[in-house]
Amino acid sequence: MPRMLIYDAGHLENFGDRMVHEVVSAALGSRVPQLEVVRMTGVSIHPVPGYFQLHKHDWVEIGNECDLVLVLGGSVFFNDRMLALNLTRLDELEVPLVIWGGVQDPDWLQTDEGRERVSRLAAGATRVFHRFPGEVEVLRGLIPKEKLTLGGDPCLLMPAAYPKQEGRLVLALSRHLIERFPEVAAELPAICRELGEQYELLAVWCETDDAAHFEDLLPGAYSLFGYDHMLSVLRNCEGVVGCRLHPLVVGAAQGVPIVGWEIGSQKVRWLMEAIGAEGELVDVAVNGLSGTSLVDFLRASSDRQTEHRQRAESLARAAQETLDWVADGLEEPTILLSEQRHLRGLSSEV
């Protein structure tokens, strides 16, 4: 029976990271009969049902009882969950290590600490898949070219749901908007009123600790908690705007207009560039926000929807190819073991 360890390099209380785990587990489970998935998370505020906690279990020992270790997360190099893995033990891992994730802070990757950590992790990995072309470009020269591959975002694998609920617009919010741009966040009630004149507006926050930041600012807003509930709303809307990456990714996968807000992290920019929607990216630091401008951006996105959908489908094919590669390795572990022996220890020179 094939067995795989999924390690959480993200934040499972974050809707996006939880969704990535659910999508990948379900897709691999349907592709590889009788697949047993073992789940482990690193630093977590609360125990996560169904997940081993790293500080209580030996990840290398558990990993070596599997056919493959798959690391998932939005920031696979820059967070305490990856440090917790104790990268000095990578040489003890006897099965392929595959990374499928994202980049959080490209500037940090150029520091001595960043380069050393990426080099060590890449040396122990069989293959490193990243979500968007912008992320792959940032990692060139840090990871051997034989290992680095465009993998697409796993959430692009979700099939589109129809019919859409006419006029429903999802506003996907993050507490980081309040923390970094309090003067812009203060305008959210007015922005919501303006958008509400054109759409059935649902204001959404996607992490459990976001709600406290918005309850007073947007009383009565439609808050969603739980993977199934959130996904049912996102898959039946006619547009998504905001600064949370994965609601925007789901919107792109569903083929509806999306308008991304850049509030410090480049991951939303990388998504918008990848689907050819740079023109619908709002740099909040430069332009601020207004309901009128967001309506204009949504109309522009709608006009270019065919192009955006085609680019999103291309990324989805990359995600499917990544999934197929992992599935093939689980069905024929000797193939990945052979590749691992060939690639392990390559220098990071391109």
Whether residue 323 is predicted with pLDDT greater than 80 in this model: the reply is yes
Mean predicted confidence (pLDDT) in 35-41: 90
Sheet with 52-53: strands ordered across: 52-53, 36-41, 3-8, 68-73, 97-101, 127-130, 148-150
**What's the pLDDT score for residue 7?**
85
Q: pLDDT, tens digit, for every residue of 275-291?
A: 999 999 999 999 999 99
The percent of residues in the chain predicted with pLDDT above 70, rounded, is: 87
Domains 3-152+316-343 and 168-311 share a fold: yes
CA-CA distance, 302 to 156, in Å (whole number)?
19
Distance, in Å, from the CA atom of 119 to the CA atom of 345, rounded to the nearest integer, reads 10
In this prediction, residue 45 has a pLDDT band, given cuts at 50, 70 and 90, of low
Distance (Å, rounded) from C-alpha 349 to C-alpha 229? 45
Neighbour-count burial of 33, counting CB atoms closer than 10 A to its CB (0-12 exposed, 13-18 middle, 19+ buried) = exposed
Domain residue ranges of the chain, discontinuous segments joined by +:
3-152+316-343, 168-311
Q: Which position has the higher pLDDT, 103 or 28?
A: 28
The CATH superfamily assigned to 168-311 is: Glycogen Phosphorylase B; (3.40.50.2000)
pTM recorded for the entire structure:
0.89
56-60, 66-70, 253-257, 319-323: the lowest-pLDDT one? 56-60
Q: Does domain 3-152+316-343 have CATH number 3.40.50.300?
A: no
pLDDT number for residue 274: 96
Helix, strand and coil percent figures for the chain, each rounded to 5: 50, 15, 35
The confidence score (pLDDT) of residue 20 equals: 87
Read off φ and ψ for residue 211, nearest 5 degrees.
Answer: -55, -45
Q: What is the pLDDT of residue 27?
A: 93
Could you tell me how many helices (H) and strands (E) the chain has, helices first? 17, 12
